[in-house]
Structure 1
Amino acid sequence: MQRRQFITRACGLVAAGAASFASPLASPLLAQEIDVEAILRDPAAPISGNPKGDVTIVAFLDYNCPFCKKAEPDLERAVKEDGRVRLVYKDWPILTEASVYGAQMALAAGFQGGYGKVHRALMAIPGRRIGEAQMLEAIRASGIDLARLDADLKTHAGDISALLRRNHAQAQSLGLQGTPAYLIGPFRTSALDYAGFKEAIAEARRRQAAE
């Protein structure tokens, strides 16, 4: 793995130790600052993989983040092949105004069951400063019902904004510095490749079994 980090046990998400996985955060987090249940099980957050999986991955992502895009195929492959991983998406648009637009469109697509379709379309656009026009072109090509998406974007604007605010507050409470950021069972990491995701999932499962 690369750029690996632990979250301290104080936050209630991970275990200490296992130096082979990561180095501790420079500043420990306080348990009362982090709503673990909200991070893991916000009912409005899109999920994929196995809803009843024994390991949960929480992915904080931005559609203008090149590292998110590079890691995305490996993450999806690892989750699909494992079959026992629950993947929670946290849209955290922090890089550009267009990032906010992309997140809003993906979340609005969720109301017609199309979050994953739009998410993959946006993640497949190469580059790091993708504008709204290019995003809309990719969304249109995904086959989503654009009229329905536009209507849901307007109808559910308040819910979408509230979810994005919650995601941002959760990222801040965790001390995240940027995207991508992944919580994999008891571990926190940034960009990984396929082998890295598999290793982290396996280690998370071993750690949970030992507790």
Structure 2
Amino acid sequence: MTRQVPHARTTAFLDRSASRRQLLIGLGAAGLLLGIGSFRDRAFAQGLDPEMVLNDPGSPVGGNAKGSLSIVTFFDYNCPFCRRASTPLSEVVAADGDIRLVYKEWPILTEASKDGAVLALAAQWQGKYETAHTALMAQEGRADAAAMRSVLEATDIDIARLDADLKMHRKEIEEQLTRNLAIAEALGLQGTPAYLIGPFLVASALDKAGFEQVIKDARARAEEG
């Protein structure tokens, strides 16, 4: 996980099971589970509507748009841990078939990270957001602005239309990124990647087994009411 100094609150687990902690530790990263209640309290305190996390109309949505479980992913295209976790997350969402995946572009590492985020969001207007997202996540090494654009030019995205949509919708895109930043701050996130999986906030890069386990726990918690 790419992050700053750990926030004191992120050391608290709602789920205290040794097996869960062992799962996350076994993945080679500091796994952190926080309850959504804490997030809602902080969000309201800062004047942020928690529903905007799940239902912001500007946030791209993948998977099953009507899925019974939502996963919100916060990421940066220059974050190596985000890249590593991107493929297993996509595989789990596709195999499950009942997950709604909400993308939150959070470009915090480099100026080029924002260039990539802006281009990906502009691709929404031609229905190619996930094409752009997948291509940008497949990059290796630290990508500059030229590399971000080049990787999209190698896809079937209409670049001329992308540029036109970017020009037309630049204000909307900037506002979307500002909202994402506010949400991340309300959550107390310290870096990328981070995932809101049902009632859990996971501040860790997970592998396929890790995502599957937290998804299972999220559904079990929902059944408990």
The TM-score, its normalising length taken from structure 1, stands at 0.89
Matched, 1:142 2:169: no
Distance in 2 (CA, whole Å) between partners of 1:110 and 1:104 is 10
Which residue number corresponds to residue 155 of structure 1? Answer: 168
**In structure 2, distance between residues paired with 1:35 and 1:150:** 32
Which residue number corresponds to residue 13 of structure 2? none
* CA 1:110–1:196: 2 relative to 1, 3 Å: same
User: CA offsets, 1:50-84, max 9 Å, x none?
Assistant: 11111100000100000000000000000000111
Match of 2:64 among 34, 38, 50: 50
Between the aligned residues of both structures, percent identity stands at 51
Alpha-carbon deviation of 1:36? 1.3
Runs (5+) with no aligned partner, structure 1: 14-27
The alpha carbon displacement at 1:32 in A equals: 2.9
Q: Quote how far apart the aligned CAs of 1:30 are.
A: 6.3
Once residues 112 and 44 of structure 2 are traced to their aligned partners in structure 1, the CA distance between those partners, rounded to angstroms, is: 33
SS at match of 2:191: coil
Q: Shift in Å at residue 8 of structure 1?
A: 3.7
Which amino acid in the other structure matches residue 96 of structure 1? T
Question: For each residue in 1:136-161, what CA deviation from the matched residue of structure 2 results, as whole angstroms up to 9, or x when unmatched?
Answer: 11100011000000000000000000
Per the TM alignment, residue 6 of structure 1 is displaced from its structure 2 partner at its CA by 2.6
1:83 to 91, 97, 109: 97
1:192 Cα deviation after fit: 0.3
Structure 2 match to 1:195: 209
Find out whether 1:10 has 2:31 as its counterpart: no
Cα contact 1:58–1:88 (8 A) shared by 2:
yes
Residue 74 of structure 2: SS of its match in structure 1?
Answer: strand
Give the superposed CA RMSD: 1.5
- SS of the equivalent of 1:4 reads coil
Q: Which runs of 5+ in 2 are unaligned?
A: 1-22, 25-29
Kept in 2: contact 1:11–1:31 (CA 8 A): no
1:122 CA drift (Å): 0.4
Once residues 200 and 88 of structure 1 are traced to their aligned partners in structure 2, the CA distance between those partners, rounded to angstroms, is: 16
Cα deviation for residue 7 of structure 1 reads: 2.5
Correspondence list, 1:157-196, <5 A = 157-189=170-202, 190-196=204-210
Partner of 2:19: none
Q: The residue matched to 2:195 in structure 1 has which SS?
A: strand
**Cα-to-partner distance string for 1:79-105 (whole Å, 9 max, x where unaligned):** 000111000000000000000000000
Aligned AA for 1:155?
A: M
Instruction: Give the equivalent residue in structure 2 for 1:130.
Output: 143
Letter in 1 for 2:104: K
Summarize deviations over 1:161-188 as a string: whole Å, max 9, x none.
Answer: 0000000000000000000000000111
Measure the CA separation in 2 of the matches of 1:143 and 1:53.
28
Which of 120, 126, 136 is matched with 2:134 structurally? 120
Equivalent residue, structure 1, for 2:119: 105
Runs of 4+ in 1 over 6 A off after TM superposition: none
2:155 and 2:220 map into 1 onto residues whose CA distance is 38
Equivalences, count: 196
Alpha-carbon deviations, 1:20-48, whole Å to 9, x = none?
A: xxxxxxxx846433421001110110010
Aligned counterparts of 2:117 and 2:65: Cα–Cα separation in 1: 22
